[in-house]
Structure 1
Amino acid sequence: MTNLMKSLGLALALAGAMAGTALAQPSEVRIGVALEPPILDPTAGAAEAIDIVVYQNIFEGLTRIDQNGEVQPGLAREWTISPDQLTYTFKLAEGVTFHDGTAFDAEDVKFTFERILAEDSVNAHKEFFTPITAMTVIDPLTVEMTLDHVVGRFLFDLGRGDAVIVAPESADNNANEPIGTGPFAFVQWNKGSRVVLEAYGPYWGEPVHLSKATYVFISDTSTMTNALLAGDVDGTNNFATEALGVFEGNPQYQILVGTTEGETILGTNNRKPPFDNLKVRQAMAHALDRQAIIDGATYGYGTPIGAPFAPHNPYYVDLTGTYPHDVEKAKALLAEAGFPDGFSATLKLPPVAYARLSGQIIASQFAEVGIKLELINMEFAQWLDEVYTNNDFDLTIISHVEPFDIGNYANPDYYFGYDNPQFQALITELNGTTDEARRKELAVEAQTILANDAVNGYLFELAQTGVWNAKLTGMWQNSPIEGLVLRDIRWTE
């Protein structure tokens, strides 16, 4: 054998060994999710299940929201805001293509927002973008948006799934065959079973670690547990808290416990006596033992809150000490309000476990101070009709999962009927401010007003409880926005 052949043989052997090593390191992930999305176009549907699959994976926006809830550059690499805060000029990333090979440019941005604002738009949050009065393409990589009034959270809204950029060539088919600019391209959707994505080779941004991701739809907790234990799936982003004990202490798995945007409240009809009386609401706040509710309703995995704001939000302030659990103080406040013997009320509960379990615990806690609750279990359609739409309720329990929805408290027609002109003026200023330091100051003040007014009983933030293979890293612990972002997930040794 010649030296050349020997060298060639050695090179081939080394290449084969290296290939074998590479193959031994997995680059695919299978993720179990509870709900199958109805469609795969996040600009045409409200279901969180859509964003779980596609947000920041298949589709991208001008900005993106990171796992701390903060705005980061997306397809817009930088931007400037005019002195009157009404005109935004975005400089777009270069060399971006959609997954069908068509080029991304400013015309696609213009098309996307004209589609959102069209009369026949089915965008779930069209109202976030109605302040846009003009879209101007300056050049292929520069686009200008003009607003009719200042919107303090505009850059955040541009980072939602509702505002991802789509192309005119493919937008009509995105419901079933989504084509975006993200790091993963759609491969197939076996309805009722799974969605398969693969890493997009020409991706314009930082390369991802995974070559393939499969979302497997498993709605039953027992089936999900068995799939995790058997290795049929490598993880799930939100596992049932009552079954987490199966994985605790098992070195093959890791449990990631974080927060979501789900502020769970004892919703109170502020427009209806006796709940229009501040002392009554304060008495109820003192009667609540949050930790007992968390232990009983979430198996200890909820995070106490004292106002309607997620603990992972940079504007959050801890107000859980505003009305500490104090039975005697609650009784005294009820007496001052004219109810020395308490009163009776109804508690209408939607068909979710955290609400039904919390309702039973709260009924017991309220009984200690003389408030007698009748628990009324409802189907969700009935709850939406009676409680949310027609305001026919005394008390209810629900989680509000929309990011940064404190502005609902400025609407006196919203279902809990809080009408405070001072608070409304504060939210108007917050919405019209882009300075981050001032926005945080206003958000803290807004939270404090709601806590002091005991508008609702603030119970806990729903936890995100992920169960993952111990060799995986890069999953989001918290969920500040709808989605299960794949870009940082990788296998380790």
Structure 2
Amino acid sequence: MRTTGTSRRTVLAAGGGTAAALALAACGGSGSGGSASGGTGGSGEGGDATPRSGGKLRAAFAGGGAGETLDPHLTNLFADAARAKALFDKLAEFGSDMSAQPRLAERWEPNDALDRWTITLRDALWHDGKPVTAADVLYSYRRIADPGQAFRAKAALEPIDLQASEAPDDRTVVFQLKRPYADFPNVMAAFGAYIVQDSAADFTEPVGCGPFRFVSFTPGESLLVSRFDDYWEGAPHLDELEFVIADEESARINALLGGQVEYAHELNPATARAHETGGRIQIIRLANSAMQGFVLKTDRAPFDDKRVREAFFLIADRQELIDGALSGAGEIGNDLFGKGYQYYADAIPQREQDLDRARALLREAGHDPDNGTGLTVTLDTSPVATGFVEAAEIFKTQAAQAGVTVEVKVGNAETYWSDTLDGGMFSCTRSGTMPIESHISQRLLTDSPTNATQWRHADFDDLYQQAQATRDETERAALYERMQRRLHAEGGFLIWGFADWILGAANSVRGIAGDAPANTLDWARFDRVWLAEG
């Protein structure tokens, strides 16, 4: 049986208010900016390697304001995902290499045609003591797929024929698919694909099946949860966990330094550099948590000529982009998504800057600055994400060395993503973690919903369909490598780096996984965290 892939503001009622303390901390002025290196004690090193029970941990996240909800199918922000993980669970979750790992699904097995998958549920309980059943699973997925709703995981569930899917018994779900899908476990692990109780519609006081049970919630301020002793994977070490909202990075780091919280999510590299050697807090870097790059529109001039695309790939000094745009907090990319993930084609040689070859390719394509036909392009960017504006300016300087004029255009952060999905010719981009299969299906097929590079090739689509109809994992990996070699040679993503995600924690905190990219199984695993004595 195949079960895994290849891998890896309620203010406190007593003692003042955490949210108020955070507001004061935000006025204290602190670092902005960002890089980091592994923290001390985050993985239980030294004399505190044995977990101990008890205590309360307060974790600071950027939030979504007064409109926040605990409906796990509406997860959008990191705070949403971390709260949902504490209260609920999925059938599967992505490991550190983005292969699907079993959660509420104890095991799964496809038929020979790969269009019918049988899921066996593990023994798990809801916080009210009822068992998690197949009816809960089918209700959850049908709720997510409701055409009248805008749930995040809806697109991921599209391959399932939910009307034809069934529950033969309480612990078995049979998913009928619309087509062969060898990587169907990715659907079960999709962002927001949480299992809720059959008929659940009100999540003001949710009953979940995760490691913590609901205590209280004030949108935009805090969520307080307590240990669920009957959690299927074992009771958490902590007695209580409080998620507190601090939108500004300065508020999160000041609250951590001031002792108002014990965990701060999403710190900037300069902040991390300023504190990683002082001993006051831990700095933990989660590598490969965000792809960084540029989109080249392959359907319009000048990037409809693959020679121009290759020239731009060769113009990029990737380490300079990492150092300048990300303050060194990351590693270089090779114009392919998913470095270190399952199916990543790491046999493809690393592309290096080669300005002479870039100039030669541009001349072949009719763009020669020496005879007045030099190329000028507009690069769209925005302060919508860390390093975007800086990366654009760095690449502008690099391109000038190859005789290319880059005009940087800073757009509106609120509309940047919609403006650049179909518009423009050249733009900054980034992506969080997802399987390579999902990156391809969502961004690189002819009918993909977010095909920013406008990459549309029927033969490439056919390779993807072949992969999904291939049961043998080695043969499927070979097909993914063929697709990646094609993209590396002539695709529209110039992926220059992979940024670290940076966390801060009090020195008393143990059990934080330092090798789990954001939004993977071991990220925000507060059920595995404990507080050292003293």
Q: Which residue of 443, 447, 472 corresponds with 1:435?
A: 472
Output the CA distance in 2 between the equivalents of 1:100 and 1:128.
Answer: 29
Identity within the alignment, %: 23
Superposed, 1:197-346 pairs within 5 Å as 197-318=225-346, 321-341=349-369, 342-346=374-378
Output the CA distance in 2 between the equivalents of 1:143 and 1:446.
Answer: 33
| 117 and 34 in structure 1: CA distance in 2 versus 1, 3 angstrom threshold | closer
Output the CA distance in 2 between the equivalents of 1:283 and 1:412.
Answer: 28
Give the CA deviation at 1:331: 1.4
| Equivalent in the alignment of 2:129 | 101
| 179 and 479 in structure 1: CA distance in 2 versus 1, 3 angstrom threshold | farther
Task: State whether structure 2 residue 96 is matched by structure 1 residue 63.
Answer: no
| Equivalent in the alignment of 1:173 | 202
| 221 and 150 in structure 1: CA distance in 2 versus 1, 3 angstrom threshold | same
Q: Which moved more, 1:411-420 or 1:399-408?
A: 411-420
Output the CA distance in 2 between the equivalents of 1:376 and 1:241.
Answer: 25
Task: Verify the 8 A CA contact 2:209 2:231 in the aligned structure 1.
Answer: yes
Q: Which residue of 417, 420, 424 corresponds with 1:393?
A: 424
Higher relative contact order (CA 8 A, sep 6+): 2
Residues 185-216 of structure 1 deviation map (CA, whole Å, 9 limit, x = unaligned): 12222233221121112223222212211112
| Equivalent in the alignment of 1:13 | none
| 287 and 457 in structure 1: CA distance in 2 versus 1, 3 angstrom threshold | same
Give the CA deviation at 1:442: 2.4
Give the CA deviation at 1:225: 1.9
| 192 and 126 in structure 1: CA distance in 2 versus 1, 3 angstrom threshold | closer
Superposed, 1:77-92 pairs within 5 Å as 77-92=106-121
Opposite residue 396 of structure 1, the aligned amino acid is: S
| Equivalent in the alignment of 1:363 | 396
Residues 4-31 of structure 1 deviation map (CA, whole Å, 9 limit, x = unaligned): xxxxxxxxxxxxxxxxxx9x97532111
Task: State whether structure 2 residue 409 is matched by structure 1 residue 372.
Answer: no
Task: Verify the 8 A CA contact 2:64 2:77 in the aligned structure 1.
Answer: no
Task: State whether structure 2 residue 517 is matched by structure 1 residue 479.
Answer: yes
Task: Verify the 8 A CA contact 1:307 1:319 in the aligned structure 2.
Answer: no
Give the CA deviation at 1:226: 1.3
Q: Which moved more, 1:434-443 or 1:203-212?
A: 434-443
Output the CA distance in 2 between the equivalents of 1:43 and 1:106.
Answer: 18
Output the CA distance in 1 between the equivalents of 2:481 and 2:152.
Answer: 28
Output the CA distance in 1 between the equivalents of 2:171 and 2:336.
Answer: 39
Residues 272-319 of structure 1 deviation map (CA, whole Å, 9 limit, x = unaligned): 111111111111111110100110111100221113322231222347
Count of equivalent residues: 465
Higher gyration radius (CA) = 1
Q: Which residue of 409, 414, 421 corresponds with 2:444?
A: 409
Q: Which residue of 49, 61, 71 corresponds with 1:41?
A: 71
Q: Give me the CA root mean square deviation.
A: 2.4
Task: Verify the 8 A CA contact 1:305 1:319 in the aligned structure 2.
Answer: no
Gaps of 5+ in 2: 1-49
Give the CA deviation at 1:48: 4.1
| Equivalent in the alignment of 1:425 | 462
Opposite residue 476 of structure 1, the aligned amino acid is: A
Superposed, 1:106-121 pairs within 5 Å as 106-121=134-149
Output the CA distance in 2 between the equivalents of 1:205 and 1:384.
Answer: 39
| Equivalent in the alignment of 1:491 | 531
Task: Verify the 8 A CA contact 2:61 2:265 in the aligned structure 1.
Answer: yes
Opposite residue 469 of structure 1, the aligned amino acid is: A
Output the CA distance in 2 between the equivalents of 1:344 and 1:375.
Answer: 11
Output the CA distance in 1 between the equivalents of 2:109 and 2:317.
Answer: 48
Output the CA distance in 2 between the equivalents of 1:318 and 1:256.
Answer: 26
Task: Verify the 8 A CA contact 2:75 2:81 in the aligned structure 1.
Answer: no
Task: Verify the 8 A CA contact 1:347 1:375 in the aligned structure 2.
Answer: yes
Output the CA distance in 1 between the equivalents of 2:156 and 2:130.
Answer: 28
Residues 336-389 of structure 1 deviation map (CA, whole Å, 9 limit, x = unaligned): 22111131111111323311110110111111111111111111343234321x
Task: Verify the 8 A CA contact 1:241 1:301 in the aligned structure 2.
Answer: yes
Output the CA distance in 2 between the equivalents of 1:427 and 1:438.
Answer: 12
Opposite residue 83 of structure 2, the aligned amino acid is: V
Output the CA distance in 1 between the equivalents of 2:64 and 2:524.
Answer: 13
Task: State whether structure 2 residue 489 is matched by structure 1 residue 455.
Answer: no
| 160 and 86 in structure 1: CA distance in 2 versus 1, 3 angstrom threshold | same
Task: Verify the 8 A CA contact 1:294 1:302 in the aligned structure 2.
Answer: yes
Q: Which residue of 347, 350, 353 corresponds with 2:382?
A: 350
Output the CA distance in 2 between the equivalents of 1:66 and 1:301.
Answer: 22
Task: Verify the 8 A CA contact 2:337 2:495 in the aligned structure 1.
Answer: no
Task: Verify the 8 A CA contact 1:319 1:448 in the aligned structure 2.
Answer: no
Q: Which moved more, 1:435-444 or 1:264-273?
A: 435-444
